[in-house]
Structure 1
Amino acid sequence: MEPGGRILVADAQPLVREGLKALFGVMDGVSVVAEVSSGGGVLTVCDRARPDLLLLDCCLPEKDGVLLARLIRARGGGERVLILCGHGGDCLDPAVAAGADGLLLKEADHEEVRFAVRSVLAGGFFVSPSVAGRLATRCRQGWALEDRRTGGWEALTPREREVLHYVAEGFRNREIADLLVVSEKTVEKHRANFMAKLGLHSAAEVRAFAQRQGLPLRLRDHLVEKG
């Protein structure tokens, strides 16, 4: 069964929003639960509509998609974020650095849009093929930098490793605190410590680091619900 989910569409152009809603309307298990034309109210609408995926235009007025991705990651939410970008993918680097789960060019055809949405909803990372080569280059550069860092995984305490693993799986700070039976402030401290030691700046970078360490990552929806 293909992964489904609730989507928030944020784009300043009504034609783009209508086109995306029409496309998602014929996809099984996918529904648009909210749409906005500017970035100012996205977080409020997100809290109310509780989407699984935010599709954010990188050029939204008030707060652009990249800034919103950073804010969403900073508050520890589990929402997936897919950035919509024109201009040949100029916002690729900022989007990845902000912790977005993918970047979709506005020139993409319907099949690519559907594949991107399904991939990100399933917990994957998607980048439009025409800019994927640039991302591969950035990854190689990033891994070379990480290889030069001292300590790495071995420098983390056992608790920091536990918190890192949960963050990589998409858990919020509050949820991690419940699982580890500690305060949320304690989780925040461990999270800040391991990110500083490893030079990581977003949940996407934590996830990528965990994958390179070979940690078994599961989607939150596949885990037993906490009582």
Structure 2
Amino acid sequence: MSQALRVVVADDQELVRSGFAMILDAQSDITVVAEAGDGTAAVEAVRRHRPDVALLDIRMPGLDGIEACRAITAGTACRTVMLTTFDADEYVYEALHAGASGFLLKDVRRDDLVHAVRVVAAGESLLAPSVARRLVEAYTRNTPPPSAPPARLDALTARERETLLHLARGLSNAEIAAALVVSEHTVKTHVGNVLAKLGLRDRIQAVICAYETGLISPGRPPEERVRGLGSP
């Protein structure tokens, strides 16, 4: 039998925190190892218990959820899912930029909460890259991109840059394989290389990286967005 997924739940509202913990602990494959009422306690709990996933409320006293997420993702292998009552794009963007792997509203259905923990623990992103792309476009449209891709991208081969471009457009592995005329196995290798070379945690972080480095310029048709690559 595989080991149960270990989870930390952090929310300053005790009833909300206990409710999420109860739902997750009722699953045979999930164990809530700690609860926390603020960001500082959440970071300490993650460092102490080394969970697979941390559920973090965005708005908590003292150290907020976004700063807690940043500390957790920078110092541990724990993946984070952000919880909020605010359905606002800026919170999603800030959470993703801090390293979050998922984003949920607090009125999430029981089954969706459990699914989110399993998906994120498996190394996947809870927010579709295409959604992240739209958010990043909205928040980078007024920021001029670099005049040329920075040296950070020099570590990538030409094919890996193409792969990053397609990731930023929200394409699946199958769609990237079709665009590059290669196998899905080859695409998985390229994606893994891109994430490793650029120090990115997942595909969502790749979307953000592509826009922030100027590889793609927001607000233009896809065929005009490539910077230094030619058409996709």
TM-score by length of 1: 0.62
Aligned equivalents of 2:97 and 2:153: distance in 1? 24
From the superposition, tell whether residues 150 and 47 of structure 1 become closer, same or farther in structure 2 (CA, over 3 Å): closer
Letter in 2 for 1:56: L
Whether 1:64 and 2:64 are equivalent positions in the alignment is yes
From the superposition, tell whether residues 48 and 166 of structure 1 become closer, same or farther in structure 2 (CA, over 3 Å): farther
Aligned equivalents of 1:167 and 1:45: distance in 2? 31
Aligned equivalents of 1:148 and 1:114: distance in 2? 44
* Cα distance, 1:2 vs structure 2: 9.5
Cα deviation digits, residues 183-209 of structure 1 (max 9, x gap): xxxxxxxx8xx57xxxxxx64578526
Which structure 2 residue ranges, 5 or more long, are not aligned?
Answer: 161-190, 211-232
Corresponding residue of 1:208: 206
Q: Mark the structure with the bigger radius of gyration.
A: 2
From the superposition, tell whether residues 83 and 2 of structure 1 become closer, same or farther in structure 2 (CA, over 3 Å): farther
2:33 counterpart SS class: strand
From the superposition, tell whether residues 57 and 3 of structure 1 become closer, same or farther in structure 2 (CA, over 3 Å): farther
Cα deviation digits, residues 121-170 of structure 1 (max 9, x gap): 1111113x9xx975341356799998974367861189xx9xx958946x
Instruction: Kindly indicate whether the alpha-carbon contact (under 8 Å) linking 2:46 and 2:72 is maintained by their aligned counterparts in 1.
Output: no
2:39 counterpart SS class: coil
Letter in 1 for 2:85: G
Aligned equivalents of 1:125 and 1:99: distance in 2? 11
1:34 counterpart SS class: strand
Q: CA RMSD in A?
A: 4.1
2:80 counterpart SS class: strand
* Cα distance, 1:99 vs structure 2: 0.9
Letter in 2 for 1:82: V
- Aligned runs of 1:111-126 on 2, under 5 Å? 111-126=111-126
- Aligned runs of 1:176-187 on 2, under 5 Å? none
* Cα distance, 1:115 vs structure 2: 1.6
Aligned equivalents of 1:137 and 1:3: distance in 2? 37
Letter in 1 for 2:48: R
Letter in 2 for 1:115: H
Corresponding residue of 2:222: none
Instruction: Kindly indicate whether the alpha-carbon contact (under 8 Å) linking 2:96 and 2:205 is maintained by their aligned counterparts in 1.
Output: no
Aligned equivalents of 1:82 and 1:116: distance in 2? 8
Taking every aligned residue pair, what percent have the same amino acid on both sides? 27
Whether 1:135 and 2:132 are equivalent positions in the alignment is yes
Letter in 2 for 1:126: L
Instruction: Kindly indicate whether the alpha-carbon contact (under 8 Å) linking 2:9 and 2:55 is maintained by their aligned counterparts in 1.
Output: yes
Corresponding residue of 1:225: none
Letter in 2 for 1:119: V
TM-score by length of 2: 0.61
